[in-house]
Amino acid sequence: MGENGKRPLDALEKARGDRIIAHLKNGEEIAGKLVAFDLHLNLWLEGAEKVGSQGNKTKLGTIVVRGDNVIFASPE
In this prediction the pTM is: 0.87
Domains of the chain, residue spans: 18-75
| pLDDT tens digits, 16-39 | 999 999 999 999 999 999 999 999
Strand partners, 63: 45
User: Does residue 62 sit in helix, strand or coil?
Assistant: strand
Residue 47: partners with Cβ closer than 8 Å, 6 or more residues away: 19, 32, 33, 61, 62
- Sequential DSSP letters for 11-55: HHHHHTTSEEEEEETTS-EEEEEEEEE-TT--EEEEEEEEEPTTS
CATH 2.40.50.220 fits 18-75, yes or no: no
| pLDDT tens digits, 34-67 | 999 999 999 999 999 999 888 899 999 999 999 9
**Measured between alpha carbons, how far is 72 from 74 in angstroms, rounded to an integer?**
7
